[in-house]
Amino acid sequence: MENKTPQTMGVPVLKIMDAVNAGYNFIFKPTGDLLKIFVTMTVVNLLLTYVGSMGAGMMMLTNLLTGLAALPLAVFLNQKVVTGQANANYFGHFGEPVLWRVFLMLILIFVVAVIVGFAASFLSLLAFGLFHPMIPVIFVTVGIPLVIYCAVRLSFLIPHIVVHNKLDIGGPLQLTKGMNTLRVLGVVFLTGLPAVGVVVLMVLFGIHEFSHVMGAVPQAMTQLPTAGAPLTDTVEGAQAGLQAGSSLLFTLGKGLASALVTYLGLIVSAALAHGYKSLTQKN
């Protein structure tokens, strides 16, 4: 029998608080397989962060790999919430076609967004000139709301691909039309508060300054008075050790802070996956 919940523009109405509660419950009452795959992803990201700290060239590669490293968790979460069954083997997901379909769709969306962004910027420059005051106004009043609107309309894209194992954008757009657009936005807002709050606290308490403090210690070693080569060699050795230690500590701290924000961000993903399930399931 078809879903009998109230409808908006021909699709079931998303129940905001049901999705929000499901998202919080899934993350704050985690199962063992969720923790297993999350910890594995965190370790992989810590290694990538450390490698990326070795140079700008490595950073570009590790940024791409970090995004790819998050996909097994995304696939697992949506499988678990929507179907109730999921593969808890983190590395095993890389052998599944569904992960690469999600990856391909995200790449296509990124490419389209970049093209549209460049085209809009070019047209704005042609219309108003390089330093015209209307350009930032257009960006704030049109660009940002448009990006938010597109993100909301595509919010069910990953669960749709994971469940049906095919590239399809029509289904998610169908489910988020009408008042469901605002309802999805409400779900994202209510479930995104913990992650945003942690980021704000990190900024307020100056955690981002940790790297500057650790980086200043080896530099201070070079200011010590030296009296001959033996002491100089000792100072240089201590400086090298401090540099390696501070780099490792900073990488660890940065990685753990990022892991905390990522875990809290899963509340949003779990809530959206539950919302997708409620809109597509049969009663």
98-107 residues labelled b (16+ CB within 10 A) or e (exposed): bbebbbebbe
Taking only the tens place, the pLDDT of each residue in 265-283 is 999 999 999 999 999 986 4
Q: Which residue has the higher pLDDT, 57 or 166?
A: 166
Output the average pLDDT for the chain.
Answer: 80
Least confident residue range of 35-44, 108-117, 203-212, 261-270: 203-212
pLDDT at residue 64 tops 90? no
Measure the CA–CA gap between 184 and 275, rounded to whole angstroms.
8
pLDDT at residue 264 tops 90? yes
Measure the CA–CA gap between 125 and 127, rounded to whole angstroms.
5
Sign, Cα dihedral of 209, 214, 216, 217: positive
Measure the CA–CA gap between 271 and 22, rounded to whole angstroms.
6
pTM above 0.85, yes or no: no
Least confident residue range of 2-11, 184-193, 199-208, 259-268: 2-11
pLDDT band at 168 (very low <50, low <70, confident <90, very high): confident
Q: What was the pLDDT predicted at 92?
A: 94
Tell me the two tokens of residue 216.
């200043």
Measure the CA–CA gap between 276 and 34, rounded to whole angstroms.
20
